[in-house]
Structure 1
Amino acid sequence: MVLPLLSTPIRTQNALVTPIGSVGDESDRRCNQGLHPQKDCCDLVIEQAYRQVFFHPLKVDRQPMLEMKLRDGGITVRDFMRGLLTSQRFRDGYLHTNSNNRLVDHLISKALGRQPHGQAERIALSILIAEQGLNAAVDTLLNSSEYLEAFGYDSVPHQRNRVLAGRAQGEKPTHQRLPRYAADWRDSSAKRFPANPAGASGTAAASWTSGQPPAWALRLWLGLAVVGGLEIGRVLLTIAGSMLSTSIQ
């Protein structure tokens, strides 16, 4: 039996007072698609959507099929956001590196532009992810009345700002406040893949005294070095002699 999404109370938040950047409540990231959307408008919206989801998008983060559908007017910006949030790149970078609670923080900040309404909303969506998966959580957020009222079908979500009297600065932007993964994932990754694994540390062999090779090995190496040097000298002298004899003739 699948549990329904738990209802959570709404809590007042002070997301940001002075915007850090050019986009705020008064700056709409919208592109009216229609049947023939303008190329420049689509390019801007696509880049903004990638930054909203991945912050610093790389070439491997791009989704060419989704971009093509958006440019052709086959999907809305909301559908494009849905595709990015359920893509394999997002799963590898966020779903597999975070707990459900922390993943909820990422999803709400990227889809709704705010922080969770307390632990109750975080727990409710965590249960939804555990029972129905990432797609169900993304659909719940993007199909919500809050999303449609704030961004509609053709606007890229962004961190929503509030102007509060008597307060000049609020909290940090989401990407500064909420890194892609937490310290626990970083530490566990360091244990799984240590920087100096056993057998590859470059330490001296246990049979070497004071870290030095045996005397016979050292004499052999020096002998080979001398023989090699003499052979190289002989080859160079032979080549030089051949060149001189040719020039005299």
Structure 2
Amino acid sequence: MKVLVPVKRVIDYNVKARVKPDQTGVDLANVKMSMNPFDEIAVEEAVRLKEKGVATEVVSISVGPTQAQETLRTSLAMGADRAILVQTDQDLEPLAVAKVLQAIIAEESPDLVILGKQSIDGDNGATGQMLAAILGWAQATFASSIEVSGAKAKVTREVDGGLQTLEVDLPAIVTADLRLNEPRYASLPNIMKAKKKPLDVKELASLGVDTAPRLKVLKVTEPPKRGGGIKVESAADLVMKLKNEAGVL
């Protein structure tokens, strides 16, 4: 069974994002970048399936600039077998990414696609669902547990009322939630080996995919700074301030 894992290069979650002075977007100059944390969980789950003998090959793919090769090599160091880079300097929308993945899936014919439930840069969380709709495949989102047996997969996901278990036929799309696993740290020998592994680099134009943007960003601004808090003497004072000053009661 082949597992395909899309990964995205994003600003490291420990870094505070800065807005460009002209408010056209987020400033990426001299900023530490890393793999999207949810995608890292997806890679870990795919590697675990391989270690269990369920999967025979794990292929990671990224759609982005040349620098995304570093993100792909991280996935190789974690245990992925191959890596594909669809090279583009465009900032693609989720629908465009789903179309690119559809083209790659047509070439690779994976049995299972595992990807992060959302990206932490634009906070997009629809690529997996769009990809499933385009392909006509089954989907199970926000997975906290995945069990694959034969041509079916059981996926447990958290819902408001507790846990929900779905059984889907393969091929299928699964999006990973935070509680699915704890990603491993890549060992130094594996990191060195990953640096020497060849990557399959494709130009976006060669896929013949319509990636025209359908949204226009008017401006990007930082959130308003939070004001200082106050102390109250009693619960009655708290209720009074919430009612008369904050106007929330």
User: Which entry has the higher C-alpha Rg, 1 or 2?
Assistant: 1
TM-score range, shorter chain: under 0.3
Larger strand percent: 2
Larger helix percent: 1
Instruction: State the TM-score, normalizing by the size of structure 2.
Output: 0.24
Bigger RCO (CA 8 Å, 6+ sep):
1
